[in-house]
Amino acid sequence: MIEATEAIELEKESISLERVPTKIYKDAAEASKAVAQEIAKIIRRKNASGKPAVLGLATGSTPKKVYAELIRLHKVEGLSFENVITFNLDEYYPMQPDAVQSYHRFMKEQLFDHVNIAPENCHIPTGTLPLEKLAIFCKEYEAQIEELGGLDIQILGIGRNGHIGFNEPGSLVNSKTRLMTLDITTRMDAAGDFGTLVKVPRRAVTMGVKAIMEAKRVVLLAFGEHKAQVIKEAIEGTVSEKIPASYLQGHQNVRFILDEASASELSSRKKPWLFDEVIWNKMMVKKAVTNLALSLDKPILKLTNRDYNENGLSDLLANYGQAYDINLQVFQSLQHTITGWPGGKSLASDANRPERAFPAQKRVLIFSPHPDDDIISMGGTFQRLVDQGHDVHVAYQTSGNIAVADDEALRFIDFLDDFNTAFDIENKKYNTVFEEARAFLSKKKDSEIDIPAVRYVKGIIRQGEAKATCRFVGIPSSNVHFLNMPFYETGAIQKMPLGEADIKIVSNIIAEIKPHQIFAAGDLADPHGTHKVCLDAIFESLERLKKEEYMNDCWVWLYRGAWAEWDIHEIEMAVPMSPTQVLQKRHGIFKHQSQKDGVVFQGNDSREFWQRAEDRNSATADLYNKLGFAEYAAIEAFVRYHF
């Protein structure tokens, strides 16, 4: 039976394809605060009635901010966990509770160690019991929940394959708490935490779908564009064991909590005009027309009144009168995004160009979050800016040191050793740093955090690669800046929050160069990654510096990181590349040798970075071509940021 709790909120009735109540927040931080508030309400309500609150908890990157907010509520607002009993969804098997990747350790670090919860009230599936004892353990785990009257709320994340808990595709709706073999997508997504795929356990103990479905309230959180596709399938698709999260469509009191990025594939976001009245501003018209053209596989200028009417766009037609006029407006606006002069063309009118013609020679500052994002994401544009005579600077925001393999570090230490021996170079400081690094690496355990000496070696390896790229593109070494932002320097995937020192470093370089153009990695959607933190530092710096006179003449262009591209209707500058330029960019990317041939954080994409970049740039060119524009080999795309 569903308990009528304060947590149950009435959803606004709206016509949509969504089969689960869904709430979309501006970002993960806002969404997480709302979820923490809901949990706090349940804790207080249960406490008031003299009963313990029984919480079902999840791990992974998604709920971290919820836990941080709960800790804040405990410390600042006195929320007590004395009467709270928790049951976690899962644990890898086998897994020692103190291992870096253990969910036992995760929960202690992210929540339990910071609130007044009794250790005996915290339940997490075992990672250590022998196989033959697991069945009993799982049965008892479920029995304990039942004895307490069931879970008051279950918090869930969602895997890119649709798993909830570790109920992988194929899990049945009545599946029990059990040992589960992990899906390859799950293992690839976890590879970052374990260093490499082969070290990711093949199995895990997970609460079954049945126990999740029996929770009185279920809240599933999903943040980031990498979750957008599976969220669409779980919310709008048919219920199927292929996407276990789709079972939640049958739960009586569930809600999906999303940020804009994870909601971006929902039909209500992709084609809002089908569900509600929309304001037909330029952006919305562009979105509708490009969408129509691509879904009908027709170039824009061939779209007819009938196409508009038959595809839910009669309202737009009514506003404009004729398809011909709308087509032309959108076509021209897209045409004006295409330019081979990303720094502006001084010998031509700039009335219909994305960049100003003057000053003819611009000071350009490219921010690169990692040492290779500049060349991977905008290598063609970087080269053109240099070739067209602009004064181009690159600021590498972080050292990127955790992405260098141990073996690579040892190779460089050996090189230095041989070099120094050959030339009788004796240097005490050198000896200490490199010997320390070598000694550590030769005994390093799996996933052990590198000591500073090793991080230093790895950092200078990446610096050298970035310098090589800049030399290759043709900028002087005085224009290459390594910012080594401190938030990044933990030696682990988990970074520190953005601090004042980081913002100062970024502000200082802007103030020093006084750029006419800034290029930054605009991964607005990435909820916890380095790119987002690096971008936040730039946005904050722009805010602080905006009153400076030189900032009046500074335009900011955002490029996307290695993973995704802007939607076609968002693009404001499209820089085409010839096959030769594509090849040149590839050679620029090759300078990053430590990132070739299987990198430390391969993630779920087995392609190398140059392949990803080329696929993405040719896909953008292909889209333009499909819409009726000239056929280019590749295109790099940018969106302007107004501060």
Q: Is 35 in the site for ligand F6R (CB under 6 A)?
A: no
* 164 is a site residue for ligand F6R (CB under 6 A): yes
Task: Supply the minimum distance, in Å, between the C-beta of residue 165 and ligand F6R.
Answer: 4
* Window of 52-60, 430-438, 459-467, 547-555 that interacts with ligand F6R by CB under 6 A: 52-60
CA atoms of 534 and 240, how far apart (whole Å): 39
Q: Which is nearer to ligand F6R, 106 or 590 (CB)?
A: 106
Cβ-closest residue to ligand F6R?
157
Only one residue has tokens 């079902």, namely: 56
Nearest-angstrom CA–CA distance, 369 and 213: 42
Binding of ligand F6R by 159 (CB under 6 A): yes
Q: What binding mask, one character per residue, do residues 56-75 give for ligand F6R by CB under 6 A, x or -? A: --xxxxx-------------
Closer to ligand F6R by Cβ: residue 161 or 581: 161
Does 187 engage in binding with ligand F6R (CB under 6 A)?
no
Q: How many CB atoms lie within 10 A of CB 103?
A: 25
Burial class (CB in 10 A: 0-12, 13-18, 19+), 642: exposed
560 binds ligand F6R (CB under 6 A): no
Choose between 152 and 636: whose C-beta lies nearer to ligand F6R: 152
Supply the minimum distance, in Å, between the C-beta of residue 490 and ligand F6R. Answer: 18
Instruction: Count residues binding ligand F6R (CB under 6 A).
Output: 14
Number of Cβ within a 10 Å radius of residue 36: 22
125 touches ligand F6R by CB under 6 A: no
How far, in Å, CA of 643 to CA of 542, rounded?
A: 7
- For residue 282, count other CB atoms closer than 10 A to its CB: 11
Query: How distant, in Å, are the alpha carbons of 101, 401, 470, 640 from that of 270?
Result: 37, 38, 39, 21
The interaxial angle of helices 452-473 and 428-443, nearest 10 deg, is 110
Reduce the DSSP state of residue 531 to 3 states and report it.
helix
Virtual torsion, Cα 17, 23, 29, 33, nearest 10 deg: -160
**Secondary structure of residue 189 in the 3-state scheme:** helix
Structural contact between residues 500 and 412, judged by C-beta atoms closer than 8 angstroms? no
Single out the residue of 56, 125, 127, 165 in contact with ligand F6R (rule: CB under 6 A).
165
Contact between 90 and ligand F6R per CB under 6 A: yes
92 lies in the binding site for ligand F6R (CB under 6 A):
no
Write out 413-460 in H/E/C secondary structure. HHHHHHHHHHCCCCCHHHHHHHHHHHHHHHHCCCCCCCCHHHHHHHHH
Q: Which stretch binds ligand F6R (CB under 6 A): 135-143, 162-170, 297-305, 319-327?
A: 162-170
State the nearest-atom distance from the C-beta of 185 to ligand F6R, in Å: 9
Known catalytic residues are 168
Contact residues for 566 (Cβ-Cβ < 8 A; gap 6+) = 560, 637, 638, 639
d(CA 65, CA 224): 14
Identify which of residues 110 and 620 has a Cβ nearer to ligand F6R in the complex: 110
CB of 77 to ligand F6R, least distance (A): 26
161-169, 265-273, 394-402, 563-571 -> range binding ligand F6R (CB under 6 A): 161-169
Contact between 594 and ligand F6R per CB under 6 A: no
Examine residue 166 and tell whether it contacts ligand F6R (CB under 6 A): yes
Q: Give whichever of 157 and 371 is closer to ligand F6R, judged by the CB atom.
A: 157
Residue 102 binding ligand F6R, by CB under 6 A: no
Q: Kindly state the smallest distance separating residue 257's Cβ from ligand F6R, in Å.
A: 12
Tell me which of 89, 219, 454, 635 binds ligand F6R, using CB under 6 A. Answer: 89
Closest to 160 measured CA to CA, from 251, 60, 238, 239: 60
* Shortest distance (Å) from residue 120 CB to ligand F6R: 21
Q: Residue 158 or residue 219: which is nearer to ligand F6R going by CB?
A: 158
> Across 214-358, where does the E strand assignment appear?
218-222, 254-259
What does the radius of gyration of the chain's CA atoms come to, in whole angstroms?
27
Quote the least distance from Cβ 139 to ligand F6R, whole Å. Answer: 20
Residues of this chain that interact with ligand F6R (CB under 6 A) are: 58-62, 89-90, 157-159, 163-166
